[in-house]
Every structure is written in C-alpha cells, then in structure tokens.
Structure 1
Amino acid sequence: MSLRTTTDYVEDVSPGSGALPPRARYASSDARSLSLNGSWRFRLSDTADAEDDSFAQEGYEAGGWAEVPVPGHWVLQGHGSPVYTNHLYPFPVDPPRVPTENPTGDHLRVFDLPKDWPADGGAVLRFDGVESCARIWLNGTELGEFKGSRLPHEFAVGHLLKTVDNVLAVRVHQWSAGSYLEDQDQWWLPGIFRDVTLLHRPAGGVLDFFVHASYDHLAGTGTLRVDSDVDGRVTVPELGIDVATGEPVTVPAEPWSAERPRLYEGVLATEGERVALRIGFRTVELSDGLIKVNGRAVLFKGVNRHEWHPERGRALDLETMREDVLLMKRHNINAVRTSHYPPHPAFLDLCDEYGLWVIDECDLETHGFTEQGWRDNPVDDDRWTPALLDRAARMVERDKNHPSIVIWSLGNEAGTGRGLTAMAEWMRGRDSSRLVHYEGDLDCRDTDVYSRMYADHAEVERIGRGLDGGTHKRRELPFLLCEYGHAMGNGPGGLADYQRIFETYDRLQGGFIWEWIDHGIKDERYGYAYGGDFGEELHDGNFVCDGLLFPDRRPSPGLVEYKKVIEPVAVEGDGTGGTVRITNKYDFADLSALAFTWSYQVNGETVGEGTLPVPALTAGESAEVKLPEPPVATAAGEAHWTVRALLAADTPWAPKDHVVAWGQFAVSARQVPSVAATDGPVPGNGLITLGPASFDARTGALRTVGGVDVTGLRLDVWRAVTDNDDGAAWQTDIRYGLLWRGLGLHRMRHRLDAVELGDDALTVRTRVAPAAREIGLSTVYRWTSDGNRLQLTVSVDPEDDWTVPLPRLGIRFGLSAADRVQWFGGGPGEAYPDSRAASSVGRWQSTVDDLQTPYVRPQENGARADVRWAEIGGLRIEGDPEFFFTARRWTTEQLDAAEHRTDLTPGDTVWVNLDHGQHGLGSQSCGPGPLPQYHLRAEAAQFSFVFSEIS
C-alpha cells in the first residue's frame, strides 16, 4: 500500500477506514497477547502536514526524537500545553474543518515478537483510546485511520508481522472532524492515552460473542445463552452448565445486583481459543413506569465519573480505577454514569466485581453548537450519522457483556436530531435487554427514561407528583437527575433535601452528583492548575474542579456528606422513648451483613458502649429496637445516643467494622453558659479593665483576656465567596456572591458611636455599613464579667431595606501563638447550614492547619457547626446559642483574593470566626442556590460568647 501525503482524512466526517468491525472485549483468553505500552519515540509538529510520512518506513532513524510513555498525553509530558473549556470549542466552529494550527504527534515503537509467539493464525492490533484522530502504519504499510477517541479500534496485521524489528508508526492529530463530537467539559488532551495491544488470533478463535444472562425473580432461575460468531461450547462448572453456543439453558441461580454482585465463572471454548466469562444474571425492564432490576425498582445513588489522574490525565492504571471503585463503595455510592464516554474497559470489570449500577455513555457531545442555536449540529446532519452509529456500535459491542451496565446513554448535551434517533434505534435492535437514556430528549421520543440536569428541588417534587406535564410518553416514564448537586468548591448543599424527595415519590429513581473528581493538574506553580493556568485563549477557569474528590483522591467534605445522605440504613430516635427505629433502605439486601453498636456520650465524652441486637431486616423493612439503660444519669450533662451500622465481616471493598450508617440523637439538653455580672468596668491608664480583660479606653476594643492578647474583635459579615455563591454566568437566578460584592459587603466600615461604662457592663455601640450604600447594621457589644470569665453579648439590628441575605453573621478576632484546637460540637469535618448531615456532636481536636479544607480555588471553608465550646490559643470560648467555629492563618480578605492554594501565606496571627449564622451553600455553580430556609436573613439577632483563659 502506498503512503498517502494528504491530510483530508482529518476533516472527513466518516469514522475512519481500515478498522475491523467492533466486537466484545474480554479480560482473559488463552490466546497470546503482547502489550505495546511503554516508551515510544515521539515528534511533535505544529500542523497536520508539517512532516512527511517517511517516519513510518522501516529503517527510519528516530534517534533524535523525544521519548514519551504510552499510554499518555503528550501535553502532560512536556510537549505543548493542555486546554480546558467547558463547552466552547477552542477552535473556530466550521464543521468539519479544523485549524491549520493542529498539533500532530508522530509516535514510533519498534518491537520483536516473543520467541514463543505462535507461527500460525492471524493477529490483531488494538488501540483502546487515542485522541482525537489517528493514522496507523505497520512495517511501512498503512492500516487506516480512525476517530472516536474513547473507543476501541482493531486492525488485522497478521500478514505484516515479522519476528523482529516490527515498526509501528502512529500519527495523532489533536484536532479533527471528530473533535466536534467530543466537546465534553474536560481538558483537551491529545495522545495515545489507553492501551495498545497485539493479539494473536488463532485459527478457529473467538470473534464476537454476546452473553445473555437473564434472571426470573419469581422462579429464582437464571437463563443463559451465549451467541457467538464462531461455534463453540459454554461451560459454567458451578452451575453444571455445558451447552453449545446459541443454546439457552435455565438453572437455579443467584442474581447479580450492585448490592450483591454475584458472578459465575465460565468459559467460552471454540476450536482455537478459550475465553473466560464472568456471568451475572439480572433482568432490566421498564415496568409499572419504573426502572426495575430483577423485579424491584432501583434507587440510584450515583456519581458522574470523568476519568482523571492529576499527573497522567485520562491515562489511568488499574489500581487508580480500583481506588475509585473502592472509594465509591465505601461512601455508599451504588451507581456511576460514565460521563461523557465509555471508560477504560477495566473499570467496567471492577463495577461487575464490586457491584455498581452503570449508565454507559457514548463518546458524544456537541455542546459548543449551543452558541449558534444548534445550527449545523452534527447530530441533525445526515452526513455525520455513520460516525454516530459507529460510536454507538463500538460502545455497545465492546461493553455488552457487563452485567453492571443497565442503561445505555446516547451521549450528552448534543441537542436533538435524526442522528440520535438512529443511534437509539440501532441500540434497541442490537440489545433489547437494557434501557436507553439521553438527557437532551425532553419529549422522550428516543429514550426510556425522563432525565434532567440540575432541576431544583421544587421542580423535582412536581415531577415526582406527576404534575410536570410533557408528552404522554414522558409522563409514563421514570425520572432520573442525571446531573445534580454540582460539587464545585465548597458544597454541594441541599443534598439531604433532594434525597428526602427521591425517597418520597416512586417515580423519582435518584440521581448522579456532578462529579466524581476535581480535574486539577499537578503543577509546581500552583499545587494544582486549572483552566487558564496554561495560557489558553479560551478557558473556563476552575469549572473543571467540581468533584467530590480532590485531585489527589482525598474525599472532600461533599463526599462525606453524600455518604451520610445516601446511607442504606436509617437510624432514628428521639432519645426519650428508650428505642431506636432501624430502617433497611437497601433495594435488595437484608441487614445480615451488618453489626450494630451503641455508644452513650455525656458532654461529648463516651461513657458507655456496646452491641445492639438488630434483626436482619429485609429491604424496605423497619423495626423498633430497644436501647439499653443509660450508663449514667441524664442529669450529668448534655447526653447523646449514637448508633452505628458496621460491616460484620471483611468484604472485598472494605474491612470489618467499616461504618456504613449511623444516627445520633439527644437525650438531654445542654446547660447554657451564663456569667453573673458581679464586676464592673474600671477605667485606667488608657485602658479599661473588666474582670480578667482589658479594653482600649478610647475605642472599647478588647485587648487581652488574662494573659492572652486579642486583636481586632468586631462584627463580621463577609466570607470568601464560594464557587456556589458566585453562581454561573448563564443563570438568571440571583447570584448572591456577585450581589454581595456589588453591595460592598466585602469592605464594611465600622463606625464607633459610643463607649459606655456602666456599673456592671461595658457597652460599645457601633454601626457597620458598606461605603456608597444606605443600608447598615446597628451593632452593640455588651461586656460583663464575674471576675474570672468574660461574657460578650452582641445585638445586631438591620437599618434601612436589606433585600439580600448576609454571607455570615458573627464576630472575628485575631490570636497569636495558636495551633492546637479542641471543641465540643459538630465534627470532625466542616459543615454549613445545608450540608451538615455528616456532622456529629462530640469532642474533637485538630491543628489550625488541619481545620482548612484544601479546595483547589481557595474560598470559604472549614467551619465546624453546632459548637458549644472551643479552646484555642489559650482561650476557652462558650456560645449561646451554639455557633459555627472557623480558625485560619490568613484573613478572610486574603482568602478571598487567592486564586490558588499557593497564594495563601500563613501569618503570625490566627483569625477566629465565631458565627451566629452562615448562609447556605447550594450548588449554584451550575445548579440551584440554597433553599430559602438556608438563607441567612438580615434581621435582628442577639448572641453571646463567654471567654476565659485556660489555666
């Protein structure tokens, strides 16, 4: 075959040429294979035609080329830079044309066949993922070219192989016609980023096969039929199955579900090959308007998962994928939507093994066409339909034998059009055992599920009640929130409110948090880089950092909150009846795998604990369980019961005693701190003394409490705005972060009106207000003391017409030499008004540094809720009522100004916030803002704190 010099194929709307038809992927076979992963020679050109094709010829000298690891992305390996956009194409929209400036990477790999490589049969060269367009040669012969970055492509190469010095040449173009189909809210990262493998294909070997394994939940039987392009036999020793391909057999079997992922090991044997099968019996159906698996409706507690590693991008290794699955299981997640493309096939093997429901999404998104009202959208242009069908087929054929996949998704944010209809029809014709999903099909013409993104709580409830209207077909379908709870920065808030609605209405079958992990790129300058940090002309900033995991895969507070919100066991009690109500919220499993414990806390200290006998309740069943007698009298102090559900034994995904669910409820109320005003203020040499404290005589500002210096104590209403405070540019709802800043709440002025010395109190009267506005807060600080302790009562009265809520309301002050922190209240992690389900009352301790939450873009973080008392920097602080506690080594203003964590330099002062209230979080970085009940309204308020020096 002669070498072509044209690059017309780059802009061709076809899926490519030369590749074999798609087929099932299997993890294990007795046929030989050779991984071609490793070090490849690499040359980067600025344009698609900058270099000729001579590098593909045998004998080409590439010794001067660079070396890169494959799998990998060359822009993460020192060659060029990554680009992040959410939906804007980073090139002119002129389909199918792409810019002449088109980074093109030539890759070379020279390899020998193993000495025991079979001499007979053929061979197939498989690429599991190349972005975005690849052209392939082997030993100087062109094999073809392809698009479809996250899909497999195979080429027949047996007739070209040599024993030694095989030259594999791959030309990869960053931009191609295929790029118009891959506008998927992620970094644009060219390269050979998944495995490259040479597969021996013995005579009579397995080609394509389809494992049909249904389950009859009434009879308790599984029916297995394996269709194969090559005749053979199927054996499943555990079930006594030995049948010919194409022949159905029904046997008693255990079903597969995400809760109990029962797999049976089998073998498909043809004349030339034995392929390992992992069979899970399950039936997916649309019945009674619900998604049912094995006869039961499923509630999806899911996440959207982009593939990501902070150093390797989308080039994931098996252990990283396993870590993702284990983290999901340990945080009660039961479902994954593979946004917005099929994942590495090994991830699906792990979902089968450990148990996760999967929506497998096609490698398709044309979101950027929304900028022109979807004009020229490829999915409504017949010229592109072959490429769309090719993408659908390559997903379905590769993944069709995974029991974890219960729904196929046509893609994401691609508008509507004839091409999507063609894809849906093809999928149903090929696989009637699964449902079809696509969020953009609002009339549900092509889909089996009514799916939406970021619908607010009220709309979701209307949908649950059947009051949403729509076509007759849509009204009869189940509802999914395929994206909700946008996990960008501090948040999301409101998850518990969504979950209560899901659990109230059968039609609502759950949702998928956006998204799993922050896509921060490890960077010496910033810690983690995001959009714009590489000089992109167009970018969407830190919108790429919107995950439940930080880039290093540490769980964020949002993931900890989500685990609590979706826990599969409800533990409820009021503390007075001597019983606790246990409810099994699994869809299938009973509670036999769990052990329950109780503990009894007084003033945050555990004074008794033991096991709690709980029956093995079936799915959906509840029971009242008697608690033991309290180990101490309730008069001893504020008391709580805590009941936990733990794994009773090791599982493949977590060890024995892993906490699956918990509940806590109060037995007795706390005693509110109070100080008898027995001392009065005494003026002196520029100071006023009151009990253990001293104040500036002119301003009334607190200077010391005992031997502890205090600086800058005053009312504070500003917080470093969160991503969710700022909202998204396209939203029409009020974006409070912008409104707050517009009002000047970040630069409040404090006017001193009076310092009054009474017989038993020091009173300081002030007005706190922003420049250029009439609104203000009349603020009175009243100090009293009993000689040993100091009490501050703050009274706040809004003046004029406050039409917006406050970011926070409390006091702020500075301490020196503060490091260790102890507190009694909510913990161990941060909590805010609409994200506090995971906060449990207890005694906790930390360092100031460990109180911080390392959001990739710095913002308000680290508040501990429901704090009764805290000890820091030599002071003990008690609150009435309970308060939010925050401490950090920089001011709120410095935090607000920082773009990256590296912008924050610890100072000599620790700034402490004691907040009477905080505004909720919501998820308005893409979804709805906080619900009204979590707004911090500007209204009259009074709160107090008691200060004492720790001896």
Structure 2
Amino acid sequence: MTDLAYLVDVSPGTGTLPPRAWPPASDAARLSLDGTWRFRLTPHAGADTDFAADGYDATAWGELRVPGHWVLQGHGAPAYTNVVYPFPLDPPFVPTENPTGDHLHTFDLPQDWPAGGDTVLRFDGVESCARVWLNGTELGEFKGSRLPHEFTVGPLLRERANVLAVRVHQWSSGSYLEDQDQWWLPGIFRDVTLLHRPAGAVRDHFVHASYDHERGEGTLRVDSEPAGRVLVPELGIDIAAGESATVAVEPWSAEQPRLYEGELVTSGERVRLRVGFRTVRVEDGLIKANGRPLLFKGVNRHEFHPETGRTLDLETMRADVLLMKRHNINAVRTSHYPPHPAFLDLCDELGLWVIDECDLETHGFVHVEWRGNPVADPRWTPALLDRAERMVERDKNHPSVVIWSLGNECGTGEGLTAMAAWIRDRDPSRPIHYEGDPSCADTDFYSRMYADHAEVEQIGRGTEEPLEDAESDARRRRLPFLQCEYAHAMGTGPGGLVEYQELFEKYPRLQGGFVWEWIDHGLAHPEYGCAYGGDFGEELHDGNFVCDGLLFPDRTPSPGLLDYKTVIQPVRMDGDGREGLVRVRNLYDFADLSHLEFTWSYEKDGVTVREGVLDVPAVPAGGSVEVRLPAPPRRDPDAETQWTLRARLAKDTAWAERGHLVAWAQLPVAWGMIPPIPGGRAPVRDGSRITLGSGVFDARTGALLAVGEVPVHGFGLDVWRAPTDNDNGMSWVTGASVAASWRALGLHRVQHRVEAVESSPDGLTVRTRVAPAAVDVALRVTYHWISNGIRLALRMDVEPEGDWQVPLPRLGIRLGLPAVYDRATWFGAGPGEAYPDTGAAAMLGIWSASVPELQTPYVRPQENGARAEVRWLELTDGTRPLLVDGGHFSFTARPWSTQELDAAAHRTDLVAGDTVWLHLDARHHGIGSESCGPGVLPDHRLKVRSERFSVQFSARDSGTPRRPA
C-alpha cells in the first residue's frame, strides 16, 4: 500500500487490536494524553511523513487542544450539510484537496508507571481517518470516527520524551459512511489514553445479567478473557467467570435503575462491575422489559456543544441526562453513532432506555438513486461489520442499552444483513432496529420517520398500506412500531405532540417515539452569536436545518421541551372540577406512585385562595384511582375559578431534588364573566381627530391614535407572521410550503383601503377592505367602537371576499406603543409561548415578564412568543398602564416589527427600536412540524371564514394589575 492508498481503501484499517468492552474503572494504571498538542494544517493529504520521525522539530507549529476539532480552534472552518456529501460521489475516492491535520504530542511516563506487562494506546474518537506513529514507529491507521481504536505500544515506550504523531484527514473512504446530518468537524475529538495491561489483565469481558420477572430472580454470568472470579458482595455472589448464579434481585429499569456493584478479579487486574439485571425481548408483537411492554418517550441525541462541537466533557454529558430525566424523557436514540461511552454510564446510573446506533449513514446516495451505495456493495461489508463489532463490543455491558440499531438512512443491502446476522450471533439478548428497510427483513421493529398522525393510527390499528411481498407484509404486521424520528423540533414548535401521544397511549402496538432532536447545533460565532450552515462561507450547505432541537445551543430548554415534558408526563389527573372528583392514572411502566406527593390549589381569577395535600395512594404502574377534592369556597359569580393539581418528587433522587414538578393538571370550576360596557357615548369630531371616551382616532382613516394618555400608532388588521421553520418546510403532499403559498398570495404585503368612517350616537364604525396586491381575494373588516368614558371596546367583524385557497398566518390587530411600555402582566396561559397546537406546558395563571423576556430566542428569528388564552393584559411604562380585556385572545409584544423579524437571519440582526409592537390575535395558524414532518392538523389550520373578535382597552394612572371592572 502506498502512503496515501489507505485513504481510499474500503477496509477499516490496519494495526489495531480487536474491539472489546470499554475499559471500566480498574486498578490498572492509565495515563490521559489529553491536553495541548502541537499542530499543523495542510490543505491536502500529502505523502510527506517526516514529521512522524523521532526527533522532528515542531517548535514552529501552532498548538491545539486535544480532544478537539481543529476547525473550531482557528484552523479552517466547519461546514454543515444534511444529506448531500460536500465532495463528489465517487466512492471510495476523495478529493485531492483534503484538509489534513498533523498532531504531535510529547509525554513522559509517570514515575510510578508499572514495569512489565504491556500498554495499550486508545483513541475513543477521530474524524475521519487517522494514521499513528509512536517514537518514529508506525502503528497503523483506522477509520470509523465515533468508534474506539487501540494499538499495543508497550515495547515502544520510554520513560521520557515519548512522541506520539497522528495524521488526521478530513476526508477518507470512511466519510462515505458518515453522512449524518451534522457539522463536518475533523479532528481527534474524544479522549486519547495509555492503558497499562499487566500480565493476566482482562482483555475483554461480557456481563450477562438477565431477570425472571415471574420469580423475581436475576441470573448473572460474566464471560472473561482470561478467566477470573466474579464478586458481587451485596448479593453474596462469588463465582468463577463463565459460571452462573441465580439470586433474588431488584431489576434494572429506566424508572428504577438499580445497579449492583461488583468486581471481576483476574491474576493481573480488578475490574469494577456495575450490574443491572433486566431482560429485553420482542414477544407477542411488543418490546418488553422484565415482562412489561415499554412506551418510549424519547429523544434523538447528537453529541454537541456550541464551542467544542462533538467534544463533550463529563459535566456536559451529565447535564444532558439530568435534563432528560427532569423533563420526563425515558429513552434516547444515539443518533447516528455510539456516544462517548461515559454517556452510557450515566444512562445506566440515572436511568434511560438506549437505542445504541452504529456509526453509519450513507444518505447522500439517495440523490443518485442509491447507485454505488456502500451498504449494497460487498467490498464495503468488512468495514460495515467492523463498525457493528466495535459498537457492540464496546457497549455490551451497559444495562441501559436495550436495542442495537444498524445505522440510519443507508438504503438497503447485504451489508446491513451481514451486520444484523453478526449482532444476533454475538448478542441475542437485545433486539435490532433499522428504519430504512420497509420489509423489516433484518430488524425486530417496524420503524418509521415522520409518519403523520393518520398513518400512525392506521399502523396502530394494523390497517396500514400492505407491502407488495405478502411474506414481508405479514412479518412487518407482527412487529412493534416505533417512530424513531418524529415531531421535528426546528424553531417554533413542534406542534401536534398531544395528538401523537394520544395515539401512542391508545394502541399497544405503537410503542412510542423519539423526537428529532435533543439540541440545536448552533456554533458560537463572533458576528452572529450563534451560527448555522452557510455562516462560515460554505459553498454547499443546508442552512439552519442543523438547529432543530429541544434545547437551545446553550442547553436552555426551549418551549418545545417544556411542552414535551407535559405531554409525556407519567401521571394523568383529570375529572370534573365542579364535582370535585379526580381520576389519577399511573402511566409509568414499572413504578408505583409512592415516590410522589400530590397537592391541590384552588384559584380565583388566577390567584390561589386555598391549597392543601391530595391524598393519593401508591397506585401501581398502569393503574388508576379516583380521589375527591375538598369542597370549594363560596363561589363568586363574576370570578373564574379552577383547581390546579401537582405531583412532585416526595424525596431527593439522583436526578432531581424533592419538590421537583413531575406532572400537573388544571380543572376548571366556573368561567368568569366579562361585564358589558353600560351605555354608550357619542364620538366628538375636532378637526382631524375623533374622540370617543378614552379613545382618540384619526378622522380620515378611523385608526386608533391613543387610549387616554397612551399614544398608539400603526393600528390595523394583521394577518402576517414571520414564517416559522415549520411554515417554511416542504409539504410532502403538495411539494410547497405553507409560507411559500402565503408569500405567493401576498399576505406579507397586504394593503388597506378605508371605505367609511361613520359616527353615530352609539359609537364609531370604520369600514375597510384589506387585500394583497394583484389578486381578487380580500377581507372586509368592520371596526365597531363604543365607550363608557373609561373603557374603550372594539368589536371587529371580518368577512372574506373571493375564493381563498390558503389559510391565514394569523388574524388579529396590531398597534404600536412607545418603547417604554416594556413590562407585561397578564391573566392567561403562561409563562411561556403557546400556539393552537403547542403550549401544553402553559398553565393558566397571572404572569409577568419584560418585553425582552417575552421573546423566544430561536437561532433563526421567526414568529415566537405568543401568550394564549389571555383574559386580561396590562402593559406599562411604570406609571401609565394600558389594559386590554375581552375574553380569550392571544398576544405578542415585541421591540421590533413583524417585517423586521421576517427579514432577520440571526438574532443579532434584531435591534430594538422606539416602538413596542403589540399584537392581539383572535386566532393563529398552528405550527405543526413540517420542517421535516407533517404539517398542521386540520383542526389547527386558520381557515378563512367569517370572524368576530372583541377586545376592550382602558388606561389608568397606576395600581396593581387587575381585571378591568
């Protein structure tokens, strides 16, 4: 092989040791080689390897943090593509212009480094191809970026000034297997470690820990090379490796992650064992753990940090798991590669079901109708098998790993079949997942991405469209169903979560899903603050499609994550608030409710007037109970009253403190009444102004100019919103996005024509026609104003004209206020945003926020921040509040206009002006998840029809927020 031939060789590499279990804690010595290395970047994959020679002088080179990506440390730039490869599809060849990073690290062995035995050099992750030398001797090369590789190096080590040289290429034949919808980030991005291997050390071990749920017993066997003894003191186990012991145990599950500490002892090493007893199998058409069907409430998780890319420290990984647990998530799919192994340790410890996915995706071949797809080319099968083996061998001892996934979006082919066969032979205790083959020939699941609600219901009923091959169709219908990706969490949204969860809970075959995805991949950027595809000058990129997570890049939960927590909460509380009877349902798969404490509060117009403890017994998993609330206080006929029920942790856990909110519900008792305005005042015309009570209007246009002393401008009907990522998504049915249809119709530039401004003894009537240019559809809008001198009431009637073929983005009114009106208090849903098909986390109450706090910081600016079901709203400059009342409406308040929001590409483009734009909406179009999934469900589409919308305004000097009287 020539110096560069290995780049395009489809074999997995040379010189590495066979894969094995991730080295757990043991008493053998280890030395981290992480730190500051010398680094040189060249634009091509040169054949010159002089830098690897012993004694090479690299003092003129720069420095680089390892682990890390060189493109995030000032050397080159990252690039993002979703499906397309950023190089020609010419497998296995890669471009000559191939950024190549040469790394050098000099290290001494610790003084107490043991003599004898051997030493292994371990790389836990290098993208995309590495060639390695130690003290001038070449060790070999490898591919498989998110997988471990080891070399034996004992005879080459010296006490002082060891020189490790690593050449890393951005592109190699392995890149064809790693087209995984993420930033292309080359480098040594996971740990580099020296592991001493004393004579008799454990080369590999396999922990088999099954659970018999009928007997309550676990069976433990540990296969070890070489042989040794297995000790689990808590269970009284002391057996030889390879032998079995059956004892009474508590099983491991994601809800109750019981681990037993043990040791594997050989003549040369004591290896820590963390044993979780559980049995996972597909039977009766369902995936079951410990005999019970599972319902996955999961997320897809890429590894990501806005400053370090795929290099994550233990604290960040722990933060991810804690956030998942605190938001009721019980499962994670490691899309689309095995994670850092420490992440799986955390899943074992804190409790998450894991689909462990192989480092494999060839999605870009879809653009050439899968011609040349490596999965269907037998020359690539050894590389595919190597990836499967390295995943399984590394992660086989984690009880949290319950499913092996062959990869993602690879089409079909014999390579996948070979991988599945090898995995089944090596580890028959776990089922196998893969989504991309409709026949499910190699899998134990029928898995889909982004199937809409109607199709998911068909699958739940077993009435989905049949396959042409009857045998494959019959097999698929016997399999459990997973939505391995759904509810695309890009920008505002996702919508439709409630309806999906209702289906998952209704049909046993539907065993849940995994939201795409966990975190926005917005990289830190000096100009844009947070960058996405194209912000680094990439010629080929997929824009902000990389920002599609439930967390913002800084790991702040988005409204979507808060909604998801509520939608999947493991306790349901429903009933009739007027009767005071509550049904409490336990939706856990295993746990009873003894770990929770329940409370109630009785609220009047959003204010708690009584509260107490709700006595709920330890309802078993899947069970329910009815409990009675106390008698409510005497009812105020004008007040809105409700019960709020909460379930909180009764004691501290490993993932949250006592009092952490797990589930909640609100039960209405009585609706409040909006008192009508008594009598009516006649408007007074004074030149160019009309005064009606506290309202001042433009006599020519009828536009509202002031409410009391509060000036207003820009008043009028509003139908436009800055399209969300889901609005901009491509419809799988029509081939066009709803936002494109809005723009084509001209809804972003409607024009207003005043037809009449009419005064009467009862008030003021303004008639207008609102229409886009160049079309013959319109909205006839009539504003009816009345006032009692203090309160100013508007009734807006809207009648469509012409043949409307598209829904409206929104329907309401817009008005501008001075920028000093920067504090909002409202009685309605909150504290966060809500749209017709989102906002499950929004709780009815009295909330307060500054105008900046009302904005949701999506990486790409778009419609956001609507507060829904508002009964009353107060905006204030600190001295002169403006109050808005009128039943149920939605509001947004922004320091920039919708047009400015629409035009912005990054948050840094948005600069607060001298106006707070207040939007009061009767209705909004839903959100959906059409950025990659289904669009808005019919019930949440804003169809054009006759509408009536009423609100009331009043201004006063000062005082506490209140519902206007």
Give the TM interval when normalised to the shorter protein: over 0.9
In structure 1, distance between residues paired with 2:379 and 2:386: 13
Question: Percent same amino acid among aligned pairs?
Answer: 68
Match of 1:101, SS?
coil
Please state if 1:179 is matched with 2:181.
no
Please state if 1:257 is matched with 2:262.
no
In structure 1, distance between residues paired with 2:99 and 2:702: 66
1:467-486 aligned within 5 A: 467-468=463-464, 469-470=466-467, 471-486=473-488
1:141-160 aligned within 5 A: 141-160=137-156
1:318-397 aligned within 5 A: 318-397=314-393
- How much does 1:632 deviate? 4.4
Query: Partner amino acid for 1:857?
Result: R
Please state if 1:869 is matched with 2:872.
yes
Which digits, 9 at most, give the CA deviation of each residue in 1:472-525, with x for residues without a partner? Answer: 110000000000000000010000000000000000000000000000001121
The 8 Å contact of residues 137 and 168 in structure 1, kept in 2 or not, is answered as yes
1:281 maps to which residue?
A: 277
1:38 maps to which residue?
A: 35
Q: In the alignment, which of 864, 875, 895 is matched to residue 889 of structure 1?
A: 895
1:419-458 aligned within 5 A: 419-458=415-454
Q: Quick one: structure 1 residues 138 and 632, their matched pair in 2 at CA, closer, same or farther if it must change by over 3 Å?
A: farther
In structure 1, distance between residues paired with 2:589 and 2:637: 41
Which digits, 9 at most, give the CA deviation of each residue in 1:717-762, with x for residues without a partner? Answer: 0000000001138764552111001100000000010000111110
- How much does 1:635 deviate? 2.9
Match of 2:382, SS?
helix
Which digits, 9 at most, give the CA deviation of each residue in 1:585-624, with x for residues without a partner? Answer: 0000000000000011100111111111100100011111
Match of 1:34, SS?
strand
1:202 maps to which residue?
A: 198
Please state if 1:838 is matched with 2:844.
no
Q: In the alignment, which of 8, 11, 14 is matched to residue 11 of structure 1?
A: 8
Please state if 1:161 is matched with 2:157.
yes
1:638 maps to which residue?
A: 640
In structure 2, distance between residues paired with 1:939 and 1:186: 43
Match of 2:521, SS?
coil
In structure 1, distance between residues paired with 2:783 and 2:391: 66
1:128 maps to which residue?
A: 124
The 8 Å contact of residues 877 and 945 in structure 1, kept in 2 or not, is answered as no
2:704 maps to which residue?
A: 702
In structure 2, distance between residues paired with 1:119 and 1:239: 36
Which digits, 9 at most, give the CA deviation of each residue in 1:81-126, with x for residues without a partner? Answer: 0010001000000000000000000000000000000111000000
Query: Partner amino acid for 2:43?
Result: D
In structure 2, distance between residues paired with 1:115 and 1:728: 62
In structure 1, distance between residues paired with 2:682 and 2:595: 63
In structure 2, distance between residues paired with 1:831 and 1:386: 50
- How much does 1:950 deviate? 2.8
- How much does 1:673 deviate? 4.1
Which digits, 9 at most, give the CA deviation of each residue in 1:343-375, with x for residues without a partner? Answer: 000000000000000000000000000000000
- How much does 1:644 deviate? 0.2
Which digits, 9 at most, give the CA deviation of each residue in 1:123-175, with x for residues without a partner? Answer: 00000000000000000000000000000000000010000010000000000
Query: Partner amino acid for 1:868?
Result: R
Cα RMSD, aligned residues only: 1.0
Greater displacement, 535-544 / 870-879: 870-879
TM-score (norm 2): 0.97
2:470 maps to which residue?
A: none
Query: Partner amino acid for 1:820?
Result: R
Greater displacement, 681-690 / 205-214: 681-690
Which digits, 9 at most, give the CA deviation of each residue in 1:388-416, with x for residues without a partner? Answer: 00000000000000000000000000000
- How much does 1:578 deviate? 1.3
Query: Partner amino acid for 1:352?
Result: D
Match of 1:534, SS?
coil
In structure 2, distance between residues paired with 1:138 and 1:73: 22
Query: Partner amino acid for 2:848?
Result: Q
Which digits, 9 at most, give the CA deviation of each residue in 1:291-336, with x for residues without a partner? Answer: 0000000000000000000000000000000000000000000000
Query: Partner amino acid for 2:232?
Result: V
Match of 1:310, SS?
coil
TM-score (norm 1): 0.99
In structure 1, distance between residues paired with 2:843 and 2:649: 20
Please state if 1:27 is matched with 2:24.
yes
2:562 maps to which residue?
A: 560
Please state if 1:68 is matched with 2:74.
no
The 8 Å contact of residues 5 and 53 in structure 1, kept in 2 or not, is answered as no
1:106 maps to which residue?
A: 102
In structure 1, distance between residues paired with 2:621 and 2:885: 43
In structure 1, distance between residues paired with 2:447 and 2:706: 59
- How much does 1:881 deviate? 3.6
- How much does 1:529 deviate? 0.3
The 8 Å contact of residues 638 and 673 in structure 2, kept in 1 or not, is answered as no
1:854 maps to which residue?
A: 857
In structure 2, distance between residues paired with 1:496 and 1:692: 43
Query: Partner amino acid for 1:840?
Result: M
- How much does 1:5 deviate? 6.3
Query: Partner amino acid for 1:747?
Result: R
In structure 1, distance between residues paired with 2:636 and 2:617: 28
The 8 Å contact of residues 454 and 484 in structure 1, kept in 2 or not, is answered as yes
- How much does 1:57 deviate? 1.4
The 8 Å contact of residues 673 and 880 in structure 1, kept in 2 or not, is answered as no
Query: Partner amino acid for 1:558?
Result: G
1:725 maps to which residue?
A: 727
Consecutive unaligned residues of structure 2, counting only runs of 5 or more, are 468-472, 958-965
Q: In the alignment, which of 939, 942, 956 is matched to residue 936 of structure 1?
A: 942
Q: In the alignment, which of 593, 596, 601 is matched to residue 594 of structure 1?
A: 596
Match of 1:143, SS?
strand
1:635-714 aligned within 5 A: 635=637, 637-714=639-716
In structure 2, distance between residues paired with 1:734 and 1:680: 50
1:914 maps to which residue?
A: 920
In structure 2, distance between residues paired with 1:458 and 1:877: 43
The 8 Å contact of residues 675 and 946 in structure 1, kept in 2 or not, is answered as no
In structure 1, distance between residues paired with 2:433 and 2:719: 45
Match of 1:787, SS?
coil
Query: Partner amino acid for 1:788?
Result: I
1:581 maps to which residue?
A: 583
- How much does 1:446 deviate? 0.2
- How much does 1:672 deviate? 2.1
Match of 2:726, SS?
helix
Q: In the alignment, which of 786, 789, 804 is matched to residue 787 of structure 1?
A: 789
1:620 maps to which residue?
A: 622
Query: Partner amino acid for 1:560?
Result: L
2:961 maps to which residue?
A: none
Greater displacement, 694-703 / 475-484: 694-703
1:77 maps to which residue?
A: 73
1:295-334 aligned within 5 A: 295-334=291-330
In structure 2, distance between residues paired with 1:835 and 1:640: 22
Consecutive unaligned residues of structure 1, counting only runs of 5 or more, are none
Match of 2:43, SS?
strand
The 8 Å contact of residues 762 and 783 in structure 1, kept in 2 or not, is answered as yes
- How much does 1:27 deviate? 2.5
Match of 2:462, SS?
coil
Query: Partner amino acid for 2:21?
Result: A
Query: Partner amino acid for 2:306?
Result: P
Q: How many residues align?
A: 947
Please state if 1:766 is matched with 2:762.
no
Which digits, 9 at most, give the CA deviation of each residue in 1:442-477, with x for residues without a partner? Answer: 111000000000000000000000001341110000
Q: Runs ≥4 in structure 1, deviation > 4 angstroms?
A: none
- How much does 1:29 deviate? 0.7
- How much does 1:659 deviate? 0.3
